[in-house]
Amino acid sequence: MNSLSIEQQARAAQAYILQELRKTEVGVSILKNKDFFARLDMNFITIFAIFAELYGYRHDCLDQLVDLITMCGKSWQDRSPDLQEVDKQRELDPEWYLSNQMLGGVCYVDRYAGSLAGIKLRIPYFKELGLTYLHLMPLFLAPQPLNDGGYAVSSYRDVQPELGTIEELRELATELRKAGISLVLDLVFNHTSNEHRWAKRAAEGDPEHSAMYWIFPDRNVPSAFERSTREIFPDDHPGSFIQLPDGRFVWSTFYHFQWDLNYSNPAVFRAMAGEMLYLANVGVDLFRMDAVAFMWKQMNTDCENLPEVHKLLRAFNALCRIAAPSVLFKSEAIVHPDFVVQYIDRYECQLSYNPLQMALTWEALATRDASMLSQAIERRHNLARGCAWVNYVRSHDDIGWTFSDEDAKEFGKDGLNHRKFLNAFFVNRHPGSFARGVPFQDNPRTGDCRISGTTASLAGLESMQDHAIERILLAYSIAMSTGGIPLIYLGDEVGQLNDYSYLNDPAKMDDSRWVNRPCYPEQRYAERHDVNTIPGKIFAGIKHLIHLRKTTEELAGGRAIGFYTGNPSILGYQRPGPSSSVLCLCNFSDEAQWIGRDRFMGMPAETKDLVSGYMIKLRKAGIHMKPYQFLWLRF
Ligand code: GLC
């Protein structure tokens, strides 16, 4: 037992590391940098404590730390003056991402613009829309043709040649920055592709590289793990492992060509930290931390959301604080809401997708009942200061019904049955459905299923149902006004429909998520300024929402507060600002609805609706709302 406190141990380790650094020329020059030294001093204890916990049993733990800190120092030295300037600016405005000016967009480079050069040409459009954040879907070297939409990365330092080069990515980051747009890229760090150099060496049997993955000589240990793990992509392979040609088994949570990295090996942590800092220096402002839930494995658990994952994320975060201080993390944890929130912390991921709000917005549209969404805003929306949700209507992925069964039970809903209903509704197997979704990973053994589809197709535009446009705008109004950063899947703003051409492509036909990843809709964009067209109507509606968001200071910052409307079809939430408050009301019914005047006791007799610009009388007869109408009332 070590009788020194963790602080004392950290100080001793830091002294040792400094002494080691002084022995080399690089080390000496790193230590001359006062800024770096100060930040190292502040964050070292975090990294040390985590390393001691995760890897302290290894004889080489300290040497691993020396290498890590040296790499961090070199990375800081390589950081361009432009990026160091961004670091300084954001230090002065540390909550810049909570501004109501923030607006996100996401797209595939190839599908939306052909290449990185094509994305550059679309910057004027991004400015027209008002984007300040652009998430480019994975663009790194990946196996062809199967690569899970780029989420099987073969090199974190090479762009897929058809899309461009790493130098073009660097230039694009600079151009975007000049246009006031932050670059968001995925850090796919749970797994690499089987064509990554590390994986190829592992497949050849090299012990050092085999130790970077979860590889076992036979089925014994894999079968023991699989007794408690969940199948994620059962259409691809059952269980969590696949067999290699040499007979060994490798952990593969997603597709068989995506091999899970073994973070119980500190060399993996160091290697991925190196890739992260490299990309930070290319100009990434924000990393989308892909599939975080799966990063640590432990026998007899489901190997999801384990406490060690949080330690890893904190250590990665602390490294950024030292060597790329303005970089932020957004967690991608599409899991039970109790777990989603555990990733959100200034010292872990400052931002997180809000999958519950996304899924429940669709749930409320299907049921015409906003009770569950209202409960989620009331109960599960709050975050620590300095943290924020990324609120979205749909992503490149499927929609999973990740609500808590206990929450649903309070409304008399059985989780399993309710999910069955939602799946049936969204694939148009339920009377009265307006949606045209497609099932994803339908698992008859477990009953699990998710839904693919674009916003417009899920909202009824494809089936030419009444109110489809209103549904799209209602859903986006919620993402735009519930706090944090709203994220538009580019193409949604012109009502892009499902694309069934994936069914003709052998590399895509088994993954229905391609239905909601269509290519740039040239014609729809061409019509966007003509309000007599459907794309024009949707675009005008979304632009209006963006304008309102950017001119309504109450919408800045973290969270929404619940407001009980007394009418289950009408969702209510408030956004308190410094001197006034905005009350948002959304009618999820396809019929007119009403809120009694008693709900507005103590409020002014009349107030302005920011959406329509009209004054609304509250206390005379309550509020009458048209089907799918939303109001933003300022008090
Ligand atoms: C994330 C991505 C998804 C991908 C998976 C595996 O969930 O959003 O598209 O299939 O990670 O990388």
Residue from 148, 186, 236, 290 carrying the catalytic annotation: 290
Q: Does the annotation count 332 as an active-site position?
A: yes
Q: What is the pLDDT of residues 323-333, one digit of tens each?
A: 999 999 999 99
Residue from 285, 332, 462, 493 carrying the catalytic annotation: 332
Pairing of strands 133-136, 104-107: parallel
Tokens representing residue 337 in the block: 């809401």
Query: Which top CATH class is 558-634?
Result: mainly beta
Cα(291) to centroid of ligand 1, in Å?
A: 6
616 vs 566: CA distance, rounded Å = 19
Q: Quick one: how far is CA 395 from the chain centroid?
A: 9
For atom 11 of ligand 1, the residue with the nearest CA is 291
Candidates 365, 379, 363, 372; CA nearest to 411 is 372
Cα(190) to centroid of ligand 1, in Å?
A: 10
149 lines ligand 1 (CB under 6 A): yes
**Global pTM?**
0.96
343 vs 145: CA distance, rounded Å = 33
86 vs 103: CA distance, rounded Å = 19
Alpha-carbon distance values, 578 to 505, 545, 554, 557, 635 (Å): 53, 21, 7, 11, 12
pLDDT of residue 286 exceeding 50, the answer is: yes
Dihedrals φ, ψ of 405, to 5°? -60, -35
591 vs 58: CA distance, rounded Å = 65
Cα(34) to centroid of ligand 1, in Å?
A: 40
Q: How many helices (H) and strands (E) does the chain have?
A: 23, 25
C-alpha count within 13 angstroms, C-beta hemisphere, residue 463:
19
76 vs 70: CA distance, rounded Å = 10
Cα(55) to centroid of ligand 1, in Å?
A: 28
Cα(336) to centroid of ligand 1, in Å?
A: 17
CATH label, 191-260, candidates 3.90.650.10, 3.90.1150.10, 3.40.50.1360, 3.90.400.10: 3.90.400.10
Q: Which atom of ligand 1 is nearest to the CA of 149?
A: 9
Q: What is the pLDDT of residues 354-391, one digit of tens each?
A: 999 999 999 999 999 999 999 999 999 889 889 999 99
DSSP string of 373-431?
HHHHHHHH----TT-EEEEES--SS-B-----HHHHHTTT--HHHHHHHHHHHHTT-ST
Mean pLDDT for 488-493 is 98
Q: Which atom of ligand 1 is nearest to the CA of 233?
A: 10
Mean pLDDT for 118-122 is 98
**Paired strand residues for 606:** 617
Helix (H) or strand (E) holding 347: none
| Own/partner long-range contacts of 376-382 (Cβ < 8 Å, ≥24 apart) | 376/337, 376/403, 376/407, 377/482, 377/560, 377/561, 377/562, 377/571, 377/573, 378/561, 378/562, 379/407, 379/562, 380/337, 380/341, 380/356, 381/357, 381/482, 381/483, 381/559, 381/560, 381/561, 381/562, 382/559
Cα(88) to centroid of ligand 1, in Å?
A: 33
Q: Which atom of ligand 1 is nearest to the CA of 253?
A: 6
Mean pLDDT for 620-631 is 93
392 lines ligand 1 (CB under 6 A): no
Q: What is the pLDDT of residue 447?
A: 72
Q: Could you tell which of 151, 399, 512 is best to mutate to test the pocket of ligand 1, judged by most ligand atoms within 8 Å of the CB?
A: 151
538 vs 461: CA distance, rounded Å = 11
For atom 3 of ligand 1, the residue with the nearest CA is 397
Q: Quick one: how far is CA 254 from the chain centroid?
A: 17
Cα(140) to centroid of ligand 1, in Å?
A: 14
Candidates 203, 247, 244, 241; CA nearest to 222 is 241
Q: What is the pLDDT of residue 2?
A: 64
Q: Which atom of ligand 1 is nearest to the CA of 148?
A: 10
For atom 4 of ligand 1, the residue with the nearest CA is 151
pLDDT of residue 1 exceeding 50, the answer is: no
Q: Among residues of the chain, what percentage have pLDDT more than 90?
A: 88
Q: Map out the domains of the chain as residue ranges.
A: 191-260, 558-634
- Beta strand spans in 490-614 (E): 561-562, 570-576, 581-587, 593-595, 606-609
Q: What is the pLDDT of residues 549-605, one digit of tens each?
A: 999 999 998 789 999 999 999 999 999 998 999 999 999 999 999 999 999 988 888
Mean pLDDT for 523-545 is 98
Tokens representing residue 112 in the block: 């939306």
Mean pLDDT for 395-414 is 97
Angle subtended at Cα 394 by Cα 390 and Cα 228, rounded to the nearest 5 degrees: 85
Q: Does the annotation count 448 as an active-site position?
A: no
For residue 348, name the pLDDT band (cuts at 50, 70, 90): very high
Alpha-carbon distance values, 399 to 393, 396, 410, 479 (Å): 10, 9, 23, 16
Mean pLDDT, the chain, as a whole number? 95
Q: Could you tell which of 397, 487, 508 is best to mutate to test the pocket of ligand 1, judged by most ligand atoms within 8 Å of the CB?
A: 397
Q: What is the pLDDT of residues 496-514, one digit of tens each?
A: 999 999 999 999 999 999 9
pLDDT of residue 627 exceeding 50, the answer is: yes
Helix (H) or strand (E) holding 278: helix 266-282
Candidates 335, 338, 330, 394; CA nearest to 361 is 394
Round the CA-based radius of gyration of the chain to a whole number and report it. Answer: 25
21 vs 372: CA distance, rounded Å = 56
Q: Which atom of ligand 1 is nearest to the CA of 188?
A: 12
397 lines ligand 1 (CB under 6 A): yes
Tokens representing residue 267 in the block: 């060399």
Mean pLDDT for 31-40 is 90
625 vs 592: CA distance, rounded Å = 6
Candidates 372, 382, 370; CA nearest to 571 is 370
